[in-house]
Amino acid sequence: MSRKIALSIEPGAAHWAVASMKDIEALGAQGVEWSADPRAKEPEHRMAGRPRILVLSATCEIFDCASEQVQLLLRRAASCGAEYLNLRFGRGSADGSPSGDYAGELHAVHELLRRVRFDVEASGVQLAVQAVEGEFLGSPIELRDAVDAANCWAIGACIDIATTWTVGRAADWIGTLGRRLCIVRIAPAPGELADRDSQVSQALDGAGFCGCIVLRASAFDKENRIRPGAWLHRFNAVADCESRDRRLG
């Protein structure tokens, strides 16, 4: 199954920020994740020779004008050729203070996703709503219900494997979200392939995942001794073997 790979460039990683598309492709990735300021109006332009922006990510506070922010971000994502808009919701009101009404915020997100669903479909960009550890949509059931409330084929879910272990197991999140899952964030662990990564690979294959995997670029720095080509080969090989065994079984 086809999965796309995007490298997440962290602030301060100067040597990755100036990487060329050739450097990115050499690691087996098809582009990068770019963090956007939802209040800025300037689009992210693709420049010749620079990495393609595959995923545009942003955080929006939950308040009445959030739909306009999402619409702006969708236009910016489309203008730079991104395939995904990864959206995190911050628990805040118009003045930036927490509302203290978690149930009300959940309802607001459901309503927001319903309001922007036609904009998402028209943009050609897939919207991936992310669970935020300890803050919002912190369980696979809440995230699943938020996506289902939108009733839109172009709105899905994003999870960060590093934070899913705080509520159940990564396999539980993947199994619960199933076809709704369109972005998975992974920070590769040292070694040929950590047990955690093997379990994740098998779970993604079982769910038929064919979305985008976002890898932290710094994991492939020399001091971490992770060879991206070898890691990706083994990660995908685990999934391929699992598929083969099920077919033969």
Query: What CA–CA distance (Å, rounded) separates 42 from 33?
Result: 17
Q: Determine the average pLDDT of the residues in 45-54.
A: 66
Of 36-45, 66-75, 190-199, highest mean pLDDT: 66-75
What's the pLDDT tens digit per position in 156-175? 999 998 888 777 788 899 99
What's the pLDDT tens digit per position in 180-222? 999 999 877 665 556 677 788 888 888 889 899 998 766 665 5
User: In the chain, pLDDT over 90 holds for what percent of residues?
Assistant: 28
Tell me which residue range forms the domain holding 244: 4-248
29 contacts 7 by C-beta, under 8 angstroms? yes
pLDDT of residue 52: 83
Q: Which residue has the higher pLDDT, 54 or 90?
A: 54
When the pLDDT of each residue in the chain is averaged and rounded to a whole number, the result is 77
Query: What CA–CA distance (Å, rounded) separates 8 from 162?
Result: 14
What three-state secondary structure class fits 237? Answer: helix
Query: What CA–CA distance (Å, rounded) separates 115 from 102?
Result: 20
Query: What CA–CA distance (Å, rounded) separates 87 from 121?
Result: 16
Of 38-52, 179-193, 203-217, 233-247, highest mean pLDDT: 203-217
Residue 59 predicted with pLDDT over 50 = yes
pLDDT of residue 123: 95
Residue 241 predicted with pLDDT over 50 = no
The pair of three-digit structure tokens given for residue 217, joined into one six-digit string: 């670029």
pLDDT of residue 138: 78
- Residue 12 phi/psi, 5-degree rounding, is 95, -10
Question: CATH number, domain at 150?
Answer: 3.20.20.150
What's the pLDDT tens digit per position in 102-149? 788 888 889 999 999 999 999 999 999 998 766 677 789 999 999 999
CA atoms lying within 13 Å on the CB side of residue 165: 7
- What does 197-220 look like in DSSP terms, one character per residue? HHHHHHHHHHTT--SEEEEEGGGG
Instruction: State in Å, rounded, how far the first CA of the chain is from the last one.
Output: 19
Integer-rounded Cα radius of gyration of the chain: 18
Residues in the chain: 249
Q: What is the dihedral of CA 69, 72, 74, 76, to 10 degrees?
A: -130
Note if the pTM is more than 0.85.
Answer: no
pLDDT of residue 6: 86
Total structural domains in the chain? 1
The pair of three-digit structure tokens given for residue 84, joined into one six-digit string: 């995904």
The pair of three-digit structure tokens given for residue 213, joined into one six-digit string: 């995997």
Of 92-106, 139-153, 224-238, highest mean pLDDT: 139-153
pLDDT of residue 150: 93
> Which residue matches tokens 């539980």?
172
Other residues' Cβ atoms within 10 Å of the Cβ of residue 217: 23
What confidence category does residue 246 fall into, taking pLDDT thresholds of 50, 70 and 90? very low
